[in-house]
Amino acid sequence: MKNPITVSKYVSVLNVPSRNPAADLLSSGLNICMSGSATSCEECLLIHPSCAWCAQERRSLTSRCDLKQNLQKRGCEPRFIEYPRSTISVLQNSPLSTKGSGPAQYDVVQIMPQRISLSLRPGDQTAFSLQVRQVEDYPVDLYYLMDLSLSMKDDLDTIRNLGTKLAEEMGKLTSNFRLGFGSFVDKNMSPFSYTAPKYQENPCNGYKLFPNCVPTFGFRHILSLTDKVDRFNEEVQKQMVSRNRDAPEGGFDAILQAAVCKEEIGWRKEAYHLLVFATDDVPHLALDGRLGGLVQPHDGRCHLNNHNEYSASTKMDYPSLALLGEKLAENNIFLIFAVTKRLYNFTALIPGTTVEILDQDSKNVIQLIIAAYNNIRSKVELTVSDHPEDISLSFTATCQDGKPLPGFRKCADLKIGETVSFDVSVEARGCPPRGTDQTFTIKPVGFKDRLEVAVDYQCDCSCILHIICWVIPKNTKYVQL
């Protein structure tokens, strides 16, 4: 591996006066380093980030734990002073791309740097910056997931030629667009569906307004993502509605399968993933399955059988919002709720989701999708995963107007191609067990790009291996190890 590059060359520090822990202590008139009664180098370094330890054999020292400048004044040579500081090294720093499609599509970079290493002394705050850009002409994968319960019949009629029209409009925004299709109703079991024998083949049996429909199903994957939009139209035209018993639908089962069955759906790594969820009613949530005797929680895995149908529909409960959010984030999927009622207040609970109001017959579905896409592309929001408990992070966003926004990790109203930056202050609050190394990830919602951060802790003293690292009682001979 190449030598790490110094942080000062590639990562800007926060635009604020640098912290000087020693100056803070001196201005307060206190010397907490000496008052702490540290009996070892490690204890000394944990008292305060301004404290240093002298490992030199000098009986003239009243305290081995003191401010660095005080130890030097008392004759401790610099090479014997233990005074670690937090440092940052950039390990991978490929430049940002300007365009998402074309020959260099698979080398698209939307965040820099990509990998850094932090070496943290507890209490010693340090900072780094990262930049994010929504590149132009980035590929888009759109999976249309439709509620095919009986109340959506007029919507199905409307979208039978959706593929052609949607591809034309999306072609104005990206030169690389693919479209897929899936449908859902609900669990084919009581009390969610009609289970009497006469309803098994035709749950609309005896329903005067619409006497014929297909058997109830949970989720059915119909068309993998493709650039052949005629295939989309053909498959949609083959579909027929079904019927369930209660008002809520099994849409969350379907969303989760569409998110985690990556190979079956055909999600590309180098593309925006849009999952359009079209329905006219609220979904069942976790624990609702217990009404039908389903006590096994959803396992978050793909369960499509050879017929591309959800095989665990009548075996597991509905997924929870937390599980749904986790899997959408894990697979970089933007979820667009296209709903006929303002009942979906999930955007605050599931990052990367938007809600658009669908006309009763879905006539506005194309405008809705374009509006949602433009909304998604106009903002950048950072998330942190695998955040170590003993590390504190604080963010400052600098958006298109160039003004720092402390406490913010989101920029909105962006134009495609604009670059925004985020300053991240990081501080270790303590020392984990010896030998512990941590990693965490910072990434924009819905992006495949991420910043991987490796962390080690400066909690051990190098003097342990060769010289005095603890206080030895008077009248005891010093021993060099």
DSSP state of 389: T
- Edge-to-edge strands, sheet with 380-385: 5-6, 87-92, 115-120, 451-457, 438-444, 380-385, 410-411
Who contacts 3 (Cβ-Cβ below 8 Å, separation ≥6)? none
Whole-angstrom CA distances from 205 to 194, 196, 199, 216 are: 10, 11, 6, 12
Residue type present at position 438: Q
Q: Residues 11, 90: contact at Cβ < 8 Å?
A: yes
Q: Residues 255, 143: contact at Cβ < 8 Å?
A: no
Task: Please state which architecture CATH assigns to domain 140-377.
Answer: 3-Layer(aba) Sandwich (3.40)
Q: How far apart are CA 121 and CA 428, in angstroms?
A: 7
Structure tokens at 259: 């998110």
Whole-angstrom CA distances from 235 to 10, 79, 140, 156, 457 are: 51, 75, 20, 12, 57
Q: Residues 182, 145: contact at Cβ < 8 Å?
A: yes
Domain ranges of the chain: 31-84+464-481, 87-134+381-457, 140-377
Q: Residues 203, 242: contact at Cβ < 8 Å?
A: yes
Return the pLDDT at 347.
Answer: 72
The structure's pTM equals 0.82
- The segments of the chain whose pLDDT lies below 50 read 1-18, 27, 465-466, 473-481
Q: Is 335 helix (H, G, I), strand (E, B) or coil?
A: strand
Return the pLDDT at 428.
Answer: 94
Q: Does domain 31-84+464-481 sit in CATH 3.30.1680.10?
A: yes
Structure tokens at 144: 């249309």
Tens digits of residue pLDDT in 69-87: 999 998 899 999 999 999 9
Return the pLDDT at 471.
Answer: 57
Structure tokens at 50: 């301004």
Give the DSSP H or E segment for 26: helix 21-28
Q: Minimal CA–CA distance to 143: which of 218, 219, 226, 217?
A: 226
Return the pLDDT at 441.
Answer: 97
Task: Please state which architecture CATH assigns to domain 87-134+381-457.
Answer: Sandwich (2.60)
**Does the fold of domain 140-377 match that of domain 87-134+381-457?**
no
Q: How far apart are CA 67 and CA 6, in angstroms?
A: 27
Q: Residues 426, 391: contact at Cβ < 8 Å?
A: yes
Return the pLDDT at 383.
Answer: 94
Count helices and strands in the chain by DSSP H and E runs: 13, 21
Residue type present at position 41: C
Return the pLDDT at 351.
Answer: 79
Tens digits of residue pLDDT in 266-301: 999 989 999 999 988 888 999 999 999 999 999 999
For residue 338, what are the β-bridge partners?
A: 278, 356
